[in-house]
Structure 1
Amino acid sequence: MATNSIKQPLWAVVLLLPTLSSCGSMAAWWTDIGPSFVLQNASTGLLTHSLCHSNNTPLYPTDPPVAFKTKYAPKNGTSLTATGWYDTMTTWASLFYQNNNDDIVNAVYKCNFETGTYEEIESDVISDRSGTPPPNAQTGLSVALLGQQEGYRVFYHDRARALHTLKFTQVENWSYGNPISTSTNRSGLALGSMFSGVRNVTVVTPKDVANIETIRLNIDNAWHITTFPTPLRGSNVTNLSNLTSLPYDTSSPPPFSLQGWDGNPKAIGIAIDTVLTRHIFYIGTDKAVHSYAAFVTGLTESGFRAQPDQSNEYWPLADEPNSDFAIASHLGSSTIRLYYLSGGQLIEAKYKNGNWDPASRLVVANTTVFTNNTGPVEEDNGLSTGAKAGIGVGVTVGALLLITGGVAAWILRKKKSTTSDVEAHGDEGASTTAGGAMGATQPASTAQSPDVASQHAEIARTGSGLSTEKWDTDVKDMALTPPPRELESPNLASELPQGIDRNELPTKHHITELP
């Protein structure tokens, strides 16, 4: 756990804005209790984060901010990427960044549910493995967490700007993976990635001043490379093609042009919904959010095409051209959250099941107002029953949660303690109601055996964040309706059930691959 003891007035939030850099200095991820994010403090270089017990909508402390404790100091302007999970007792975060030697570092953290801050469990340089091409000093970073057996894949650029993977598996620990795109002729170094099933990972990155490159893992274990809006020449360009410059098909003009695109955004993101539509986002030179999507119909996926722009009510203009942003998404509920700076404030744009809600200012939290005997009280923001129950398990003093009378009753029944009446928290608390009802979470199992505490106290293998148990393929939870279908893989992909091991990544559904 690491906090800054220097008190700052609320107007000092401007000092907490992320460092603007050639790649993203902000990252977000989704757990069963909702989204979390981290951004780099522009003046101190600290990696400040939202409270790790935030539910549905992140709460971001400003008085004082809270930061990840880092064994290896992050360099100013580092690219950031992170993933995390909820283990029925607390949340975990696995963070990736560059240190001052340009090494790639992985740090694993456990949430202290009483304080909302993270405690460092492990930290390790992972780019020093045998055969690993040295990272570019301004590399983009993106991570995909594939499951217990397959572990992590971390994507980065080498010094020549080719794209590579570092991988973690339970058997091999961290090791170099392989190149996924040997092309070195690229205009920008932003990276995004998402995993949606067995052998289905998509990586997205700028290609040049007119095109975006997508790289997708296929059943043949090759990474298949495409670009849009101008396609490549030939239908089978892969990481095995060993091309430093990708050949375009210029036989006809491209069907559209990328809006506000100069090939060098500070960030690019991808989200995938329940019907496996792939959505790509960036903030352009016009300070506006832009989105492109590829839709699946039957056994065929369309090419990427532009999606309608939203009004400023839904996508406010960013403060800078090509602005940094963070994206968190949940495949099981088709939920997407975008975080970026607009009007000098962090805002949250929220999408669920095909609709965008009006954007809202991210809730800031003043952590100095709480004592060891009193907790905060804020207006309810539409948390589901399961989410409230999950939050109530480990929360006592100092927990900045959105509490209702129903939660208080649950705590009385389960913990046999008393609680005070719920009161409104003021202007900041009121702002939580604008978009709080959107987040969809699944009921969390709270039944624990006597041995669970010792299991949760164990230290994971270096950088793993994953259980050593085999992948459970007998998930009893109901499948999605309609079941999601993914291209280019014949295997059934079973996500992990909600387990008692503290490192398992809980999820509720199968991801159905094509037969």
Structure 2
Amino acid sequence: MILISVIAVVLARLKPSDTKPIEAIRNNTRNSVASTGLTLLDNKTWNMHVFSQNSTGQIALQVSLDGKTFEPPTNVSLTIPPRVGSPISATAEQDSQTHVIMLNLFYISGINNVTMSALTCAEGSAKCGTINNCLLPTAIPVSHETGLAAVNVNNSQDWRVYYHDQSGFISQLQGNASGFNLGSRIGGEGLNGSDITAVNIDSTTNNIHVFYTDMLTQALFTLQYQKHWTTPRPVSNARVANWNPYSGFGSAYRPFSDQLHVYYTGLDKGIYEFVLNGTDATDTSFQPQPDGTRPWGEADYVGADITAVGWKDQIRFFQPARGRLVMGELNDTTWGEVFVDMITTGSQIMA
């Protein structure tokens, strides 16, 4: 009798509210993208940095020195080559003494190795050089099909890196300029082959939100850290429009409006956005359905990777589209979209 009851509960949890099945489509042609940004020490200049991986595994970096236009892309010099199709994530900080900007690129290399590359750029320059490239050992082995997300703490060389371990659980590496620990499991069993995104709402006190696909329900779930990790919970209890469990995810925070934005690429190749208004409480809820009505173009393929960054009342997201890199931009309440190569210095491309 107990066994029958347990089976009934599991079946009830698996049964969707709509009888139409979800067609899960794996992203096996990932062109990974990652973005990061920071306000410089002058408290007014915004820099953005966008990393993208091509089909051969090469990772390129494109820098915006004003938050509006970009410098031409350059290849990142790596002594440890990334896996083709590796997830990538990045953070940025500025040294208060030298004013040098440090970029930290995280990716997967070899046999499931979390790898870090540190790059430095002079303030006001788009020329960034690699100063270190190293493996981050883990006591909790990394899944072959892991997602990857990273944030920093107090806008300094203090990092948290999130990945799927071999059992699918979300695990965290914690490190600083002196080195990293060997990892710890923070909870939440993720779907093998799905993505992870994370954003630190308050870098000083640490209000970290991690998003991933739940293994059992295949829904978008979130974990939140404020002194301790919360119990994993779904972003929405409703059946989500054009949801693909293997979608690329991106997330960003707008401090002026206290809004957290989460993006995914739908089964129709469209871009969808969840918004959370008010981020301090652990019991606040996202809207039940994402918004897919914005004037955004289609991605190149179902489940395409997407990355986002936010500041003040601004959001930017980046995604491969039509064989190029597209940028969606939210300025206060107005959305727009443009190809990055159209706003790159020296570009002759007009459309």
Select the residue among 37, 43, 50 that pairs with 1:37.
50
**Aligned pair in 2 of structure 1 residues 21, 326: CA closer, same or farther (>3 Å)?**
farther
Mapping of residues 48-447 of structure 1, within 5 Å = 48-50=60-62, 52=63, 54-57=65-68, 59=70, 61=72, 66-87=74-95, 89-111=99-121, 116-126=126-136, 128-129=137-138, 132-147=139-154, 151-169=158-176, 173-183=179-189, 186=191, 188-197=193-202, 198-207=205-214, 211-219=219-227, 221-230=228-237, 256-265=238-247, 267-274=248-255, 275-296=257-278, 302-305=284-287, 306-311=289-294, 314-330=295-311, 333-356=312-335, 358-363=336-341, 400=345, 427-428=348-349
**Contact 1:24–1:190 under 8 Å retained in 2:** no
- Rounded Cα–Cα distance in structure 2 between residues aligned with 1:303 and 1:364: 37
Query: What residue identity is the alignment partner of 1:310?
Result: T
Query: 8 Å contact 1:144–1:154 — kept in the other structure?
Result: yes
**TM-superposition CA deviations, 1:32-61 (whole Å, max 9, x none):** 23321011121x3211111x4643135363
1:363 counterpart SS class? helix
Matched residues, number: 312
| 1:342 alignment partner AA | A
**1:346 Cα deviation from its structure 2 partner:** 1.7
Contact in 1 for aligned 2:118/2:131 (Cα 8 Å):
yes
Q: Is the 8 A contact 2:189 2:214 kept in 1?
A: no
2:58 alignment partner in structure 1? 46
- Equivalent AA in structure 1 for residue 51 of structure 2: V
Q: How far has the Cα of 1:319 moved from its partner?
A: 1.7
Q: Is the Cα–Cα contact under 8 Å of residues 140 and 165 in structure 2 kept in the other structure?
A: yes
In 2, are the aligned partners of 1:187 and 1:263 still within 8 Å (CA)? no
Q: Give the C-alpha shift of residue 329 in structure 1.
A: 1.8
Unaligned runs of 5+ in 1: 1-19, 231-255, 367-399, 401-424, 432-515
**Which structure dedicates a bigger proportion of its chain to helix?**
1
* Matching residue's letter, 1:290: Y
Whole-Å Cα distance in 1 between the matches of residues 30 and 54 of structure 2? 15
Q: Secondary structure at the match of 1:76?
A: coil
- Deviation of 1:202 after TM superposition, in Å, equals 0.4
**Contact 2:31/2:52, CA 8 A, preserved across alignment:** no
Task: Give the aligned CA root-mean-square deviation in angstroms.
Answer: 2.9
Counterpart-to-counterpart distance in 1, 2:325 and 2:70: 11
Sort the Cα spacing of 1:124 and 1:344 in 2 relative to 1 into closer, same or farther, 3 A: closer
TM-score by length of 2: 0.79
CA distance in 2 between partners of 1:147 and 1:300 (Å): 21
Q: Whose radius of gyration is greater, 1 or 2?
A: 1
Q: Which amino acid aligns with 2:250?
A: G
Query: 2:140 & 2:54 partners in 1: Cα distance?
Result: 29
1 CA distance for matches of 2:164 and 2:29? 13
State whether residues 99 and 122 of structure 2, in contact with CA within 8 Å, keep that contact through their aligned partners in structure 1: no
Are residues 181 and 150 of structure 1, via their aligned partners in 2, closer, same or farther at CA, if it must alter by over 3 Å? farther
Deviations 1:167-195 (A, max 9, x none): 0145x6211342111525x2642010011
- TM-score, normalised with respect to structure 1: 0.55
- Return the offset for 1:86: 4.2
Letter in 2 for 1:125: L
Aligned to 1:448: none
Q: Deviations over 1:57-109 (max 9, x none)?
A: 35363xxx521111211111111000113458443210001112321111100
